[in-house]
Amino acid sequence: MASAALKDELDIVIPTIRNLDFLEMWRPFFEQYHLIIVQDGDPSKTIKVPDGFDYELYNRNDINKILGPRSSCISFKDSACRCFGYMVSKKKYIYTIDDDCFVAKDPSGKDINALEQHIKNLLCPSTPNFFNTLYDPFREGADYVRGYPFSLREGVPTAVSHGLWLNIPDYDAPTQLVKPLERNTRYVDMVLTIPKGTLFPMCGMNLAFDRELIGPAMYFGLMGDGQPIGRYDDMWAGWCCKVICDHLGLGIKTGLPYIYHSKASNPFVNLKKEYLGIFWQEEIIPFFQSHNFSKDCTTVQKCYVELSKQVKEKLGKVDPYFLKLADAMVTWIEAWDMLNPPNKDSANDSSK
Ligand SMILES: O=c1ccn([C@@H]2O[C@H](COP(=O)(O)OP(=O)(O)O[C@H]3O[C@@H](CO)[C@H](O)[C@H]3O)[C@@H](O)[C@H]2O)c(=O)[nH]1
Ligand SMILES: [Mn+2]
């Protein structure tokens, strides 16, 4: 189906500090799409992009020029910088992938077109309000099972499609240290909607989302250079997105597609980056679990700004970092709205 390819409605966002030779393997699946490359680290370094790809590339100088003082909300020397790509895109959908993620094979040995599966996930409704025991009811050869309320079978719009990884799983540093040789060889042929009221650990390396439905909540926080924490960029965005999706009646799916994650980053370096996150998340999770949005939070931006106030009030006591993060969340929304002026009758205002 031509429309399902979403060629002109989807951008691929890649954060990188290295040459993008990995694109050669993705060429059959990515070549027709526009890429947004966010070059992290030294802006004077040249990133080589294989011929034949249509792309725009932003380095730190570009980010500072485009956002001015608001560029302070975009992390430096951390994959969190990728969220700048979400902000500058003009498309309805985003797919973001790491440059050490390659095409995986399904059990039949066939190359997996991860982008095609993410598009299917995004174009089909989610079912967060009642669990379908036969998994994704919109999948070929499946349906709602007996006892599933007909009043709920329409489902809700899907905002996020969270893909998984064969080979190097996305483990935290302690787990990586204990299980240095563990590889994920298990291909589970399933797509699940994450139930309403349940949080999940969102990994940014194989992720797609509907930018018009949830884009302003996809802020990857203050990580990396000058920050006390790293590798919690995608986690933070996932927790914010999930509570906002639950409030606005949107869905998040996880499962297929798989990519092949080739490189294990250094567990000792990761431990240093993650340590405070592992400690703080015991307070952060209850904060998100107990958060309720007010009635007038009818758009993602309104939800996000209200959430930032609660972060300042409730998590600021955990550590002054959250005071900075709360301010950066507001700066992010200001920057988002500066680059993407909301039209008057914003299509995504759920009060309409
Ligand atoms: O300073 C940096 C480091 C890396 N990048 C780019 O970001 C991605 C991920 O880098 P890498 O694969 O080396 O790191 P992982 O530990 O495997 O990343 C996963 O952990 C989470 C960390 O946030 C995240 O969900 C996954 O990405 C690559 O494209 C690097 O080139 C960077 O931009 N800046
Ligand atoms: Mn990696």
What pLDDT sits at residue 343? Answer: 74
CB 295 within 8 A of CB 331: no
What pLDDT sits at residue 342? Answer: 75
pLDDT, tens digit, for every residue of 195-245?
999 999 999 999 999 999 999 999 999 999 999 999 999 999 999 999 999
Q: Considering every ligand atom, which ligand is closest to the CA of 97? A: 1
| Ligand 1 binding pocket mutation candidate from 39, 63, 98 (most atoms within 8 A of CB) | 98
pLDDT, tens digit, for every residue of 153-184?
999 999 999 999 999 999 999 999 999 999 99
Would you place residue 351 in the very low, low, confident or very high pLDDT band (cuts 50, 70, 90)?
Answer: low
Stretch 137-154: mean pLDDT: 97
| Residue with CA at minimum distance from ligand 1 atom 22 | 231
| Ligand 1 binding pocket mutation candidate from 83, 175, 205, 223 (most atoms within 8 A of CB) | 205
| Residue with CA at minimum distance from ligand 1 atom 25 | 204
pLDDT of residue 337 exceeding 80 = yes
Q: Considering every ligand atom, which ligand is closest to the CA of 16? A: 1
Q: Is 28 helix (H, G, I), strand (E, B) or coil?
A: helix
Stretch 96-104: mean pLDDT: 98
What pLDDT sits at residue 197? Answer: 98
pLDDT of residue 63 exceeding 80 = yes
CB 20 within 8 A of CB 37: yes
DSSP for 301-344, written as a single string = HHHHHHHHHHIIIIITTT-THHHHHHHHHHHHHHHHHHHSPPPT
Place of tokens 């998994």: 135
Q: What angle do CA 267, 272, 278 make, to 5 degrees?
A: 95
Report ipTM for this prediction. Answer: 0.96
Q: What angle do CA 329, 331, 336 make, to 5 degrees?
A: 95
What pLDDT sits at residue 5? Answer: 81
| Residue with CA at minimum distance from ligand 1 atom 4 | 79
Q: Considering every ligand atom, which ligand is closest to the CA of 237? A: 1
Atom of ligand 1 nearest to the CA of 100: 12
Residues, beta carbon < 5 Å, ion ligand 2: 98, 100, 263
What pLDDT sits at residue 276? Answer: 97
The DSSP H or E segment spanning 15 is strand 10-16
For the Cβ of 100 lying below 6 angstroms from any atom of ligand 1, the answer is yes
pLDDT, tens digit, for every residue of 269-300?
999 999 999 999 999 999 999 999 999 999 99
Residue 182: CB partners within 8 Å, gap ≥ 6?
A: 169, 171
pLDDT of residue 350 exceeding 90 = no
For helices 321-339 and 300-310, the axis angle rounded to 10 degrees is 160
Atom of ligand 1 nearest to the CA of 220: 23
Task: Please give the distance, rounded to the nearest whole angstrom, from the Cα atom of residue 81 to the centre of ligand 1.
Answer: 10
For the Cβ of 20 lying below 6 angstroms from any atom of ligand 1, the answer is no
Using DSSP bridges, classify how beta strands 206-210 and 158-167 pair: parallel, antiparallel or unpaired.
Answer: antiparallel
Q: Is 111 helix (H, G, I), strand (E, B) or coil?
A: strand
The 8-class DSSP code of residue 103 comes to E
Q: Considering every ligand atom, which ligand is closest to the CA of 15? A: 1
pTM to 2 decimal places: 0.96
pLDDT of residue 1 exceeding 50 = no
Question: How many residues appear in the chain?
Answer: 352
Task: Please give the distance, rounded to the nearest whole angstrom, from the Cα atom of residue 191 to the centre of ligand 1.
Answer: 25
Q: Is the dihedral of CA 255, 123, 16, 40 positive or negative?
A: negative
Atom of ligand 1 nearest to the CA of 99: 29
What pLDDT sits at residue 71? Answer: 98
Q: What is the mean pLDDT of the chain?
A: 96
Atom of ligand 1 nearest to the CA of 39: 33
Q: Considering every ligand atom, which ligand is closest to the CA of 78? A: 1
At 39, give phi and psi (nearest 5°). -85, 120
CB 34 within 8 A of CB 117: no
Task: Please give the distance, rounded to the nearest whole angstrom, from the Cα atom of residue 215 to the centre of ligand 1.
Answer: 20
| Ligand 1 binding pocket mutation candidate from 13, 36, 79 (most atoms within 8 A of CB) | 79
CB 38 within 8 A of CB 18: no
Would you place residue 338 in the very low, low, confident or very high pLDDT band (cuts 50, 70, 90)?
Answer: very high
